[in-house]
């Protein structure tokens, strides 16, 4: 009771002799996302399994403030990502103009640099402002061996005891998020692989037969609604002239036999906890699981789409023990993103996104990592971690039975009149709001529905219910968008959110909405009811 009254007038409490709840107080309670939230807000999953058992909130080119070609490089987007709960920060390291220090920038573009030390200091300051679980720094390395030594010294001096690195050269199993609480770890390609990577890139492994899978292939034909929405948004900003981004982490020569000396930073190579690599030879060979060591493999979104079509089961088996990182294709120079579900459905832990980007794909990413208290680590479902009696694994394309049915009722919305100007939606009349409600998940579960538009009302009452049968509720997201109907132009945007289905609290709940960039509106909320049958 006290929490409900807290923001209300104290005079109101003084006038009554016993704790009564007035209609205004009850309305305040219902519409408070703090008192009546739609999802659980605490870490509740087991955090003692190896890192490979978790989806990890992962950024791509984390230092960029905007597009991939000409925007500034800064520590500000790194700070913003950490404040959102992102756990994997990517830094591209290059020699500075005088070759005696390290800059962070997107190489071979017009992006202006920021110093490595500034980025490291900001990571240290903000690493655990939202979550105590480990921050992973993925390094794309274009340095000479002397600068790599300088990086090792910078890293060890900046992070001190916060830095974790293994005693042995290779790990048989990754540590757990719980064991790595408040620690920072590095992931990059061991220096000795430089020439091998360069050689592989030149011959480009498996042929594409002149055609690479596009986003349409990745989304699958079963979900044209969501696929079309994201593709059309991206294509408004895409240019027909592609820009190739080299994703190989180049390395200078490294002396593997160099001895560590007292009072000298540990050798760069020994600081790498998660050893990374690109595919060598056939992708099926790269996905083989080794009994005595674990590693990280990186694939572009196109490579993933191709290998998922032919070796989907091998990807899932690989990710049961090893880490798989997916990164955006090089032509996304406007910092757009791709469908994360093709990675998630196959157990990929690090689906790397341009966090400074925009659009519905990023909304899905924001929503997915609201799970498990927003700590940046979400336990993968059991069906992705185990094998059947005949060694079979989960098949996202299989015709699966309905496991759970979600009923969603959209009662009403409020708050736009506080957060928007009176003429924002219509110059001469109140807005005509409607709500779109649907599911993002495996192709069989994806659907989008919408309410009727309520004309001329700042507080629309829809009172409509929708039913969603789900085959894989464990990784499904509830998508909610509000738009204002415009007869002559494109409908205006009125807010959005994505919520993990597995985290929904049954009952009538206040659902806060967010702007296009994922920032929560101060007042805009929906009143909704969730029910599982």
Pairing of strands 54-56, 377-379: antiparallel
Global pTM?
0.86
Catalytic-role residue among 53, 60, 346, 366: 60
Helix (H, G, I), strand (E, B) or coil at 447: strand
* Helices 360-368, 224-235: crossing angle, 10 deg rounding: 120
How far is Cα 87 from Cα 148, in angstroms, rounded to an integer?
23
Query: What's the pLDDT at 24?
Result: 83
Query: What's the pLDDT at 252?
Result: 33
Query: Tens of pLDDT along the chain (533 residues)?
Result: 556 555 555 445 555 555 677 888 888 889 999 999 999 999 999 999 999 999 999 999 999 999 999 999 999 999 999 999 999 999 999 999 999 999 999 998 999 999 999 999 999 999 999 999 999 999 999 999 899 999 999 999 999 999 999 988 789 999 999 999 999 999 999 876 544 444 444 444 433 333 333 333 333 333 345 555 555 554 544 433 333 333 333 343 333 333 332 334 578 999 999 999 888 777 778 899 999 999 999 999 999 999 999 999 999 999 999 999 999 999 999 999 999 999 999 999 999 999 998 899 999 999 999 999 999 999 999 999 999 888 899 999 899 999 999 999 999 999 999 999 999 999 999 999 999 999 999 999 999 999 999 999 999 999 999 999 999 999 999 999 999 999 888 999 999 999 999 999 999 999 999 999 999 999 999 999 999 99
Helix (H, G, I), strand (E, B) or coil at 240: coil
Q: For residue 79, what are its two tokens? A: 């700070």
Catalytic (active site) residue 483: no
How far is Cα 37 from Cα 504, in angstroms, rounded to an integer?
9
How far is Cα 413 from Cα 418, in angstroms, rounded to an integer?
12
Catalytic-role residue among 106, 311, 366, 483: 106
Domains of the chain are: 51-380 (3.20.20.190), 404-532 (2.60.40.150)
The answer for residues whose C-beta is within 8 angstroms of residue 11's C-beta and 6 or more apart is none
Query: What's the pLDDT at 227?
Result: 53
How far is Cα 155 from Cα 184, in angstroms, rounded to an integer?
10
Catalytic (active site) residue 366: no
């Amino acid at each position: 009771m006290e929490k409900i009254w807290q923001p209300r007038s104290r005079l109101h409490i003084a006038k009554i002799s016993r704790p009564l709840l007035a209609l205004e107080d009850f309305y305040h309670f219902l519409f408070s996302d703090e008192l009546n939230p739609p999802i659980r807000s605490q870490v509740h999953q087991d955090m003692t399994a190896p890192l490979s058992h978790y989806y990890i909130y992962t950024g791509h080119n984390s230092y960029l403030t905007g597009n991939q070609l000409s925007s500034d490089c800064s520590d500000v987007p790194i700070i913003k990502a950490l404040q959102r709960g992102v756990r994997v920060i990517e830094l591209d390291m290059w020699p500075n103009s005088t070759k005696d220090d390290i800059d962070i920038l997107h190489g071979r573009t017009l992006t202006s640099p920021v110093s490595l030390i500034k980025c490291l200091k900001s990571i240290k300051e903000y690493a655990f402002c939202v979550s105590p679980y480990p921050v992973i720094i993925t390094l794309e390395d274009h340095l000479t061996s002397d600068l790599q030594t300088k990086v090792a010294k910078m890293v060890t001096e900046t992070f001190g005891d916060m830095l974790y690195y293994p005693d042995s050269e290779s790990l048989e199993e990754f540590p757990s998020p719980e064991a790595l609480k408040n620690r920072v770890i590095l992931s990059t390609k061991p220096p000795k692989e430089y020439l091998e990577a360069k050689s592989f890139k030149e011959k480009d492994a498996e042929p594409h037969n002149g055609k690479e899978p596009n986003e349409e292939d990745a989304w699958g034909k079963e979900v044209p609604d969501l696929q079309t929405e994201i593709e059309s948004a991206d294509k408004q900003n895409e240019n027909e002239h592609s820009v190739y981004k080299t994703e190989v982490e180049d390395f200078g020569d490294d002396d593997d036999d160099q001895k560590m000396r007292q009072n000298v930073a540990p050798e760069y190579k020994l600081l790498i906890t998660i050893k990374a690599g690109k595919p060598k030879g056939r992708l099926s060979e790269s996905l083989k699981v080794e009994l005595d060591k674990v590693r990280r493999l990186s694939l572009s979104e196109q490579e993933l789409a191709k290998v998922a079509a032919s070796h989907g089961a091998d990807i899932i088996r690989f990710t049961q023990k090893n880490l798989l990182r997916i990164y955006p294709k090089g032509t996304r120079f406007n910092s757009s993103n791709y469908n994360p579900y093709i990675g998630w459905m196959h157990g990929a832990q690090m689906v790397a996104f341009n966090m400074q980007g925009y659009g519905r794909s990023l909304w899905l990413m924001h929503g997915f990592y609201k799970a498990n208290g927003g700590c940046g680590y979400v336990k993968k479902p059991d069906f992705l971690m185990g094998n059947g009696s005949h060694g079979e694994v989960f098949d996202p394309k299989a015709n699966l039975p309905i496991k759970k049915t979600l009923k969603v009722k959209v009662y009403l919305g409020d708050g736009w009149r506080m957060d928007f100007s009176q003429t924002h939606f219509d110059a001469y009349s109140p807005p005509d709001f409607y709500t779109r409600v649907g599911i993002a998940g495996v192709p069989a579960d994806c659907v989008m529905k919408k309410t009727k538009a309520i004309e001329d009302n700042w507080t629309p009452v829809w009172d409509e219910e929708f039913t969603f049968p789900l085959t894989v509720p464990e990784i499904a997201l509830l998508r909610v968008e509000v738009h204002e109907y415009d007869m002559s132009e494109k409908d205006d945007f009125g807010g959005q959110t994505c919520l993990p289905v597995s985290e929904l609290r049954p009952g009538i709940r206040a659902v806060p909405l967010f702007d296009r960039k994922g920032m929560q509106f101060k007042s805009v909320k929906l009143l909704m009811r969730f029910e599982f049958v």
